[in-house]
Structure 1
Amino acid sequence: MKKIIVLVLVLLAVSCKKETKNQVNEVKVGTAKNENFPEELGKVFTKHGGIDNWRKMKILSFNKGEEVHTVDLHSRKTVINHPEYSLGFDGTEVWLDEEKEGNYKGNSMFYYNLYFYFYAMPFVLADEGIIYEKVDDLTFEGVNYPGYKISYKANVGTSPDDNYVVYYNPKTYQMEWLAYTVTFKSKKPSDNLRWIKYHEWENVNGLVLPKKITWYNKNDNGLTSSPKGKALEFTLPLLSQGKLADSFFAKPAK
């Protein structure tokens, strides 16, 4: 039987959801010490609530449509629940459990942490095994956005050749854009960047996380001003310092 998240982890942090605010200027920040990320990127983390505060959190949960994504932030164990399927990562292997055969059409190995990375921006850009490189500014509609390229050391994660480029507002240091490559199938480095605009944020238990993101088109001359489709909205966010049992992330028994 498929695992069910009861009232979105009510035993852990009901109060966290009640205290979620739309204002992003009320965040209390911590000070990160002995970190290896660039000073400017550190200011981005600070703008979003502070890397120290992020690392105190143990459980992250958010909804993407009918899917409920729950992640152990320290082990990166994951469960995604949908009315017609569930999948996850138990710390050793990725699993898929379907209540109705054939309902899940994707690749569970590729998908299980895909939207976690998009949602946990910018904080996942402080993970271990990352290499930072300053890149040219992104110019969009008359504004120059400074940026950093994030690549990974060999054998880090399932797609170590993936690259991310984060761009931030030069005045506020709030994250504005993400460019990224996908190498999961090819297992080869790629220069084919895909672009996401981070255009709406919310305060979740003291950390500023995305509420809406939109993919944008590009052409031979670079990024265009036309979105590829409607914005993707994340709902029911939760961050908690509580802990879930390892069994929560295990494949459900038949």
Structure 2
Amino acid sequence: MKTLYKLLGLFLVLNLVACKQTAKEEVDTTTEVKTTEANYDIPDSWIQKRVDAANKRLNTTEAGKVLWSAMEAHGGLNKWYSNGYFSFHFNYAPVNVKGIRDSYQTIDTWSNKARHNSITDPTSSFGWDGEEAWVKPKDSTSFAYDTQFWALTPLYFSGQPFVLDGEGVNLELLPEQEFQGTMQKVIKATYDAGVGSAPDDYYILYVNAKTNLVDAFKYIVSYPEYFPNGGHAPEKITVTQGTTTVDGIVFATGFKTYWSTNDKDGLGEYITKIDVSDISFSPTVEENFFSKPEGAKVLNK
């Protein structure tokens, strides 16, 4: 009988130890999950300070007032920065089927970091971590385009007009004009020297005089890697194709891009169709989400 009691006691002790070990492992697992996510922890006071500064700066000029009214119509600069990480599927498809760029991307709108995953092969990715551009393709055919240039380019389509709120952006009010039967307030945005990777770029926004939404914009590409001796590509014009509202922000669901002309509406040859889908905001991403993954190649060094 004593032996039976001893065995029973030993069993209870071992069972208790096992339970404690299991509980410990469960705690450790929970802690591990928490450390694999990065929160969009931008203090409200920081966002409000940035928004107030933009409001004050923009509303000192007529061109700035037009841009500010467009930001308000699209949901507001405060909401743009408060919503979290911005994700969307951006399918850039030239009509001639050359240079298709189809990726799902996530942007840190606060610091302009970006990560793209190929739609055809999600294991292939590229991005910008704020200091370095990187790419990790499956093979040499994964990205048949300049991923360093493209890392933030889609943001300058889908992020209009919010992407023009910063320091170093110069605005000029141009005469109102009719575009596709609707009067437009027109502003031109240029950049100070040294701002961004292509400071000679410009954008000309057509802001609907009734809705204050961006109906279209003209732009040039002056990326130095493409034009090492200066200059730029011919001007293009991109026209919004439908809108949707996600977490209070109004986005285009697509664009059509044309060569720009001096004819009525300025629409020359139709050259690119862009579809924008799967738009969302998230408060978290994986830890080191925007950083260069193991095996990736750094591009800007």
TM-score by length of 1: 0.79
In structure 2, the partner of 1:87 is: 126
The partner residue of 2:154 within 115, 126, 132 is 115
Distance 1:106 1:47 in 2: 34
- Alignment check: 8 A CA contact 2:187 2:204 kept: yes
- Alignment check: 8 A CA contact 2:222 2:233 kept: no
- The code of the aligned residue for 2:114 comes to T
Distance 2:177 2:248 in 1: 29
- Alignment check: 8 A CA contact 1:162 1:189 kept: no
Q: Give the deviation of 1:101 after TM superposition.
A: 2.5
In structure 1, the partner of 2:172 is: 133
The question of 1:68 aligning with 2:109 is answered: no
Higher helix share: 2
The question of 1:253 aligning with 2:294 is answered: yes
The question of 1:186 aligning with 2:227 is answered: yes
In structure 2, the partner of 1:53 is: 79
**Unmatched 5+ residue regions in structure 2?**
1-36, 40-50, 59-63, 92-101, 296-301
Distance 1:246 1:165 in 2: 37
Deviations 1:83-106 (A, max 9, x none): 432110122111111112332110
1:1-254 to 2 correspondence within 5 Å? Answer: 33-34=52-53, 35=55, 36-37=57-58, 38-65=64-91, 66-82=102-118, 83-84=120-121, 85-184=124-223, 185-186=226-227, 188=230, 190=232, 192-221=234-263, 223-225=265-267, 228-229=270-271, 231-240=273-282, 242-244=283-285, 247-254=288-295
Q: Give the deviation of 1:146 after TM superposition.
A: 1.3
TM-score by length of 2: 0.68
Deviations 1:128-163 (A, max 9, x none): 321111112343344331111111112111011110
Change (3 A) 1:148 1:122: same
**Structure showing greater Rg:** 2
Q: Give the deviation of 1:239 after TM superposition.
A: 1.7
- Alignment check: 8 A CA contact 1:72 1:78 kept: yes
Change (3 A) 1:107 1:52: same
Say which SS state the counterpart of residue 55 (structure 1) adopts.
Answer: helix
Distance 1:103 1:93 in 2: 20
> Larger deviation: 137-146 or 62-71?
137-146
Say which SS state the counterpart of residue 172 (structure 1) adopts.
Answer: coil
Distance 1:253 1:218 in 2: 43
- Alignment check: 8 A CA contact 1:216 1:223 kept: no
Indicate the RMSD between aligned Cα atoms, in angstroms: 2.4
Change (3 A) 1:135 1:224: closer
Distance 1:139 1:91 in 2: 39
- Alignment check: 8 A CA contact 1:57 1:73 kept: no
Say which SS state the counterpart of residue 253 (structure 1) adopts.
Answer: coil
Change (3 A) 1:247 1:33: closer
Q: Give the deviation of 1:202 after TM superposition.
A: 0.6
Q: Give the deviation of 1:232 after TM superposition.
A: 1.6
Change (3 A) 1:12 1:68: farther
| Identity of matched residues, % | 24
Distance 1:172 1:52 in 2: 19
Say which SS state the counterpart of residue 54 (structure 1) adopts.
Answer: helix
Distance 1:191 1:68 in 2: 26
Change (3 A) 1:230 1:220: closer
> Larger deviation: 136-145 or 119-128?
136-145
- Alignment check: 8 A CA contact 1:214 1:227 kept: no
